[in-house]
Amino acid sequence: MNYEQLFLEFSEKACEFVEKASGVALGFHSVADGILTTDVEKLQRLLLKYEVFDFSNLPESISSVEDFLKGYLFTFTTGKALQMMIDKKDIKNWIEENFGKGTLKLGGTSANMAVALASFGFKKILVYAYPLVRELAELFPNIESIKTVSQDGRIVHPKDGWKEEKLGAIHWIFEVKKGQKISLSGKEIVCPRDNRFIASWNPVNSKLVIADHFKRVYLERISEYPKFMLAGFHIMRDVYPDGETVESRMEDIASFVDEIKKRGAKVHIEMASIRRKRVRKALIDILFPRADSLGINEVELSWIAEDLGESDEGVLEGDPNAVSTTLRKVSEKAGIGRIHFHTLGYYMLLEKNAEKEKFGLAVAALAAARRAEIGSSPSCDDIKEALRHPLSETGLKASKLSSSDLYILPTKIVSKPKLTVGLGDTISSIAFSLSDIDDFV
C-alpha cells in the first residue's frame, strides 16, 4: 500500500465528503478552562508555606491546599500531565484568590470536538453545554454550524442561548515549562518537559447530568444528528457529596443511550484519562456494552486491560502486537463493534471490514498533524498542508499487521508541534464522523 498516495487522494476529497456527512451530537462535557503559566517563585513560596516537599500518597482528588500543591508538584517534577477534581468549594475559592481565573478558553471534550468538527467544515453539530452561562457561551467561536439546545428548547448557537452570568465550573490549567526550577529542602528540582497540571472545579457536570430540555429536543431532532459522541467520564466521582454513586449516574446515562439507540443513533464513547478505578469500572460494566464505538489511546487502553484482568505488557509502549491483542480482548469482553486506537505514529481500527474506514482515518491523521503544527483546528482544505510531513517509521512497520478486521494506518508526524493538547479529540471525532463514509462514496 502506498500511504503517501492514499493521503494525497483523500486530502483532495475531504471537503466533498464532509459536505455529505450526517450531523453529530456531542455530550456531556463543555467547560471554561482557566489557563495559567507557572510563576516559580510563587509555587516555591506556597510549597514552603504549606510544607509540601514531595508528592508521595498522591490523592485521587483535591480536598485540601496540600493535595492541590502535591498534584502541582507532581507535574512540575515529573513533567507528566495530571488532572484532579477539586472536592471542596473553599479550596476552589483559595485557588481563585491566589491565582485568579487565568485566561479563559473553551475546553472540555465535547466543546473541543465541536470546534474541531465545525472548523473542519462539518455542517451540523449539536453540543451539550450546561449550565450555559454567559462566560462559557461567549467562549464558543462564531461558527454557524455549532449549535446547542437553549433552556427554552431552541436550537441555537451557544452565544444566543445563555441564561445566567456566573461561571459555575472552571478547569484551571497550570502550565509548566521545561527548565523551570524550584528549590525544596535544599534540593533543586528542574522541570523536565512542558506539560500541564489541571485542577477542575465542576460540581454540576461531574455528575454528567443530562438536562431535560436537551433530552427532549435531541430526541425530537435525532434524525438530524444520528451520531452521538459521549465523553466527560474523567470528571466523574465515585460517590458524590449527596451520596449518589457513579453507578447510579452511569445507569441514568445508560437509559438515555438506550432511548437514542432505539431511535437508530450510533453511540461513540471517548475514553479520556479516567483516573478513578471505580468510575472506569462503572463505564466498562454499564456503558461499554451499549456503545457502537470507542476512542482510546495507549495509556487508557493499558488501564482498561488491567481493569479487565488482562496483561497490559507492551500496550503503554504502543507495541502493535500487544495493542491488537488487547483491543480484541476489550472488544470481546465489552462487545464493542468498533474501536479506534490512536498513538504517536499510527491508528489501529478494530472493526468488521476495518479497511472501509481508511478515508476517515487518513483525513483525521492529516487534521491532527496540521493542528499539531499550527496550534488550532484546521479546515478540510488546509489539511493538504500536512502532506509534507513524514510518515512514521514505527507506524509503517505496524501497518504490516493489518488484516480484514484490523486496519493500521501509519500517521504523519510533525517534528516540532506547536500544541498537542486536544489532538486525541480531533482524531476520534473526525474519524467517527466519517465512519459511514462508504454510504456516500
Which residue ranges make up the site for ligand 8BR (CB under 6 A)?
297, 342-344, 368-369, 372, 411, 413-414, 417, 420, 423-424
Q: How far is the CB of 364 from ligand 8BR (least distance, A)?
A: 9
> In the complex, what is the shortest distance from the CB of residue 370 to ligand 8BR, in angstroms, rounded to a whole number?
9
- Which CB atom, from 180 or from 411, has the smaller least distance to ligand 8BR? 411
CA distance 338 to 360: 13
* Closer residue to ligand 8BR, CB minimum distance, 24 or 361: 361
Closest CB to ligand 8BR among residues 210, 423? 423
DSSP assignment of 11-78 equals HHHHHHHHHHPPPEEEES--EEEEEEE--HHHHHHHHHHTT----TT--SEESSHHHHHHHHHHHHHH
How far, in Å, are 136, 143, 252, 327, 384 from residue 342 at the CA level? Answer: 30, 28, 29, 12, 21
Q: Hey, is 307 helix, strand or coil?
A: helix
Pairing of strands 346-350, 406-410: antiparallel
Which residue number, 148 or 326, has a Cβ lying nearer to ligand 8BR?
326
Select 148 or 392, whichever has its Cβ closest to ligand 8BR. Answer: 392
Angle subtended at Cα 425 by Cα 420 and Cα 427, rounded to the nearest 5 degrees = 85
The amino acid at residue 220 is E
By beta-carbon proximity to ligand 8BR, the closer residue of 125 and 231 is 231
Q: How far is the CB of 378 from ligand 8BR (least distance, A)?
A: 12
CB of 13: closest distance to ligand 8BR in angstroms? 21
Distance CA 83, CA 197 (A): 6
**Closest approach of Cβ 110 to ligand 8BR, in Å?**
15
Chain residue whose CB lies nearest ligand 8BR: 424
Beta-ladder partners of 190: 181
CA separation for the pair 107, 251 (Å, rounded): 26
Q: How far is the CB of 408 from ligand 8BR (least distance, A)?
A: 13
CA distance 91 to 35: 18
Nearer residue to ligand 8BR within complex by CB, 282 or 369: 369
Rounded CA separation 23/19 (Å): 10
Nearest approach in angstroms of CB 340 to ligand 8BR is 11
CA atoms within 13 A on the CB side of 199: 32
